[in-house]
Amino acid sequence: MSDEVLVEEAGGVAVLTINRPKARNAINGAVARGIAEALDTLEARPDVSAYVLTGAGGTFSAGMDLKGFLTGDLPVVEGRGFGGLTEAPPTKPMVAAVEGYALAGGFELALACDVVVASSEAVFGLPEPRRGLVAGAGGIMRLPRRVPYHVAMEIALTGDHYPASRLYELGLVNRITEPGAALEGALELARKIAANAPLALAATKKVVIESQDWPLEEMFRRQGEIINPVFVSKDAMEGAAAFAEKRAPRWQGE
């Protein structure tokens, strides 16, 4: 794995750390490839059920490495998009642990996650228009699905910075922690998620994401195609047995 992305695993949770603190964890090609390679490996591992994405040195990510952009070092991986993540998020749940800046592409990486835990000092924004650019890594598409229309427009059009407290009020940030404790808070939440059955988690995430655009008359049929295999899985039988026997379940991911 590259030095630009560090990976640690424990208790069913893998922590992916963007490791360019001197550049405020700006996303370059190496970071994008590192995240993509890590996810390619971790998605196939049954012992990993959830992820945490964070940044080293007290900041999440200040966005695309503009110096790299000028030299043609694009932070995009074919099939996965910006940061190796935004166009094809993992099937397993991912929690963002945000300290410091989550700006531009950094904010878009957080928006590609399923849950966001942020320090009280964290700051979010999409300043691309100030640089003659557009938040094309999912920011202006995902943001209106997470916050009210006019708020999304304000954030996207002004390019201003917004504190974590404001995004918590809007429901985009799940939990606020003390400064320096975002990773700890994200790990607590990720471990709670990872304690659940892997197949059920993946199916639940898939339905929540995809059902937003389903026609009313097709909703339950489409949901059934995704969740029916879960109900006949070994883990479903194990969950029922564990409940009856008053013990912790032993998931197999099958």
pLDDT tens digits for range 18-41: 999 999 999 999 999 999 999 999
Report the chain's mean pLDDT, rounded to a whole number.
Answer: 95
pLDDT of residue 73: 87
- Cβ atoms of 102 and 124 within 8 Å: the answer is yes
* Nearest residue to 79 via CA among 90, 92, 63: 90
pTM: 0.94
* Nearest residue to 52 via CA among 9, 104, 82: 9
pLDDT at 158 over 70: yes
The DSSP element (H or E) to which 163 belongs, if any, is strand 161-163
Catalytic annotation, pick one of 108, 184, 188, 225: 108
* Nearest residue to 14 via CA among 194, 146, 139: 194
**Under DSSP, is residue 78 helix (H, G, I), strand (E, B) or coil?**
coil
pLDDT at 173 over 90: yes
pLDDT of residue 2: 66
* Residue 175, C-beta contacts closer than 8 angstroms, at least 6 positions apart: 117, 118, 168, 185, 189
* Nearest residue to 31 via CA among 49, 14, 16, 9: 16
As given in the structure block, the two tokens for residue 111 are 């928006």
pLDDT tens digits for range 44-86: 998 999 999 999 999 999 999 988 888 888 999 999 999 999 9
Q: How far apart, in Å, are the Cα atoms of 210 and each of 107, 192, 226?
A: 22, 24, 10
Q: Does residue 121 carry a catalytic annotation?
A: no
Q: Does residue 108 carry a catalytic annotation?
A: yes
| Percentage of the residues of the chain whose pLDDT score is greater than 90 | 92
pLDDT of residue 176: 98
User: Phi, psi (5° rounding) for residue 93?
Assistant: -60, 140
* Residue 21, C-beta contacts closer than 8 angstroms, at least 6 positions apart: 55, 56, 57, 58, 59
pLDDT of residue 1: 55
- Cβ atoms of 238 and 249 within 8 Å: the answer is yes
pLDDT of residue 67: 85
Catalytic annotation, pick one of 4, 128, 184, 210: 128
Mean pLDDT of 191-216: 95
**Under DSSP, is residue 67 helix (H, G, I), strand (E, B) or coil?**
helix
